[in-house]
A = this chain, B = another copy of it.
Amino acid sequence: MNAEILAVGSELLLGQITNTNARFISSQLSELGINVFYHTVVGDNAQRLEQAIEVAESRADLIIFSGGLGPTKDDLTKETIARHLGVSLEFDEVALTYIEQFFAKRGRPMTENNRKQALILAGSEVLANHHGMAPGMILTKNDRTYILLPGPPKELEPMFQFEAKPKLAAMLNDGGIIASHVMRFYGIGEAELEVRVQSILDAQTNPTVAPLASDGEVTLRVTAKAATEQQAQQLIAAKVAEIQALVGEYQYGVDDDSLASKTVEMLLDNKLTIAAAESLTAGLFQSELAEIPGVGNALIGGIVTYAADAKVKQLGISQELIDTHGVVSSECAAAMASAVREKFSTNIGIGLTGEAGPTAHDHQPVGTVWIGIAIEDEEPLTYLLHLSGMRNTNRLRAVKFTCHYLMQLLEERGYTKRYR
């Protein structure tokens, strides 16, 4: 099966947004072993879109469209494909009801163009959209398969992964399958990790091992091809063991894990409660933990002390400590961690203070961050970071390092950590 990915949207051709959907769909298709030979982007223009469809039909038997399913005048993907294939558009009752409820809920008026979003190609199978209003669809005609997906990545990615991908996998007749497993590392640079696993990278055949770095994290994607899922998983497990023998101490999770999700998991598994006092991160640490459902049993709350003054008034940090050591100091981070832990009566207290940038305020260079971690019945520990990113990269890195150090500390103290 050879695929072409056809993105529709003038905003792409104007350079307003990047076609990240093509990358996402391509990586998903490669996991299925489907070859992608071309990506095409065309604007919101029926005639040029139809020409692009004809070109795609001349060189692919799977055509995946992204974008142009919205309610507005320039959304014409469905209409153009319908005309091109000579199939009609009909209302999908499920989608229509979903859209009506969407507006009823918000008490917003529903316009005729919103109804238009519930139109689907006759004979197509609907791909449910759980994050927006435009349903996707999959249609096979003249031995060619057409998949229509909405443009916003938040809608397209889950729809492809959970609705379209399984249908494609079923359509592939060569029983061979491709399974893939992502190992997530923190606290080690990409270059250093690659050097450590060089022998494995050089010798790779099946499974393949692909390193990727982003947001200060490094991942290794282990991909195996086999006749059955079970055989593929055995190949992956063996390779993962080899890798862990070399750099296991830096692995924090797998697949869709995040540092925050693993931290929350570890807190919940061990029935530990946590509170945080945040300066430069201004609530980002707590907010990242709060992204994980169920966190309520671990995260009690905390205090944002953005103004230096608030550290004294709200946390009871002594003015003398601040005068002596400054707010960006080991002493202040430790005091913040201890104070917030006591104030919220939790097992763990976190203190975050530093210079996010762009300008420094406390005689410390931009990028200086002190992390304080106070564990019940122990002296608080502190960690120093020298970050070199922009303001908000530094704030996020500070949060990630906090999760990383906290998990290390808890593991050293014998608290259970899940490995999969």
Within residues 1 to 56 of chain A, which ones have a CB less than 8 A from any CB in chain B? 7, 10-20, 22-30, 36-43, 45, 48, 51-52, 55
Which listed residue (B190, B291, B295) contacts A70, Cβ 8 A?
B190
Report the separation of the CA atoms of residues A119 and B300 in the bound assembly, to the nearest whole angstrom: 50
Report the separation of the CA atoms of residues A371 and B133 in the bound assembly, to the nearest whole angstrom: 26
Report the separation of the CA atoms of residues A333 and B15 in the bound assembly, to the nearest whole angstrom: 42
Within residues 305 to 364 of chain A, which ones have a CB less than 8 A from any CB in chain B? 305-307, 309-310, 313-314, 343-344, 356-359, 361
Cβ of A303 within 8 Å of any chain B Cβ, yes or no, is yes
Within residues 173 to 224 of chain A, which ones have a CB less than 8 A from any CB in chain B? 180, 189-192, 194-195, 201, 210-214, 221, 223
Report the separation of the CA atoms of residues A41 and B4 in the bound assembly, to the nearest whole angstrom: 10
Chain B residues near A307 (CB-CB < 8 A): 296, 299-301
Report the separation of the CA atoms of residues A276 and B305 in the bound assembly, to the nearest whole angstrom: 11
B300/A310 in contact, CB under 8 A: yes
Chain B residues near A305 (CB-CB < 8 A): 301
Known pairs A13-B26, A19-B18, A359-B293; A105 contacts B386 (CB<8 A): yes
Total count of chain A residues near the partner, CB < 8 A: 113
Cβ of A370 within 8 Å of any chain B Cβ, yes or no, is no
B41/A38 in contact, CB under 8 A: yes
A287/B290 in contact, CB under 8 A: no
Which listed residue (B37, B39, B113, B296) contacts A306, Cβ 8 A?
B296
Which listed residue (B29, B74, B214) contacts A210, Cβ 8 A?
B74
B25/A314 in contact, CB under 8 A: no
Cβ of A141 within 8 Å of any chain B Cβ, yes or no, is no
Report the separation of the CA atoms of residues A18 and B37 in the bound assembly, to the nearest whole angstrom: 15
Chain B residues near A162 (CB-CB < 8 A): none
Q: Residue of B at shortest CB range from A101?
A: B388
Report the separation of the CA atoms of residues A197 and B367 in the bound assembly, to the nearest whole angstrom: 46
Cβ of A66 within 8 Å of any chain B Cβ, yes or no, is no
Q: Residue of B at shortest CB range from A198?
A: B73
B72/A211 in contact, CB under 8 A: yes
Known pairs A27-B14, A72-B194, A291-B391; A310 contacts B304 (CB<8 A): no
A302/B304 in contact, CB under 8 A: yes
Known pairs A191-B111, A306-B290; A102 contacts B388 (CB<8 A): yes
B40/A14 in contact, CB under 8 A: no
Q: Residue of B at shortest CB range from A290?
A: B282
A393 to chain B, nearest CB (A): 7
A393/B154 in contact, CB under 8 A: yes
Which listed residue (B13, B30, B39, B108) contacts A37, Cβ 8 A?
B13
Report the separation of the CA atoms of residues A356 and B295 in the bound assembly, to the nearest whole angstrom: 12
Chain B residues near A154 (CB-CB < 8 A): 393
Chain B residues near A191 (CB-CB < 8 A): 71-72, 111, 113-114
Known pairs A113-B194, A210-B11; A22 contacts B38 (CB<8 A): no
Which listed residue (B20, B113, B299) contacts A282, Cβ 8 A?
B299
B291/A281 in contact, CB under 8 A: no
A212 to chain B, nearest CB (A): 6
A268 to chain B, nearest CB (A): 14
Cβ of A263 within 8 Å of any chain B Cβ, yes or no, is no
Chain B residues near A136 (CB-CB < 8 A): none
Chain B residues near A113 (CB-CB < 8 A): 191, 194-195
Report the separation of the CA atoms of residues A79 and B115 in the bound assembly, to the nearest whole angstrom: 52
Chain B residues near A152 (CB-CB < 8 A): 214
What are 22 contact pairs spanning A and B, CB under 8 A?
A: A13-B38, A14-B27, A15-B23, A15-B27, A18-B19, A19-B22, A72-B194, A74-B210, A102-B388, A108-B189, A130-B390, A131-B393, A278-B283, A282-B286, A282-B290, A282-B299, A283-B284, A283-B304, A291-B391, A296-B306, A301-B310, A302-B304
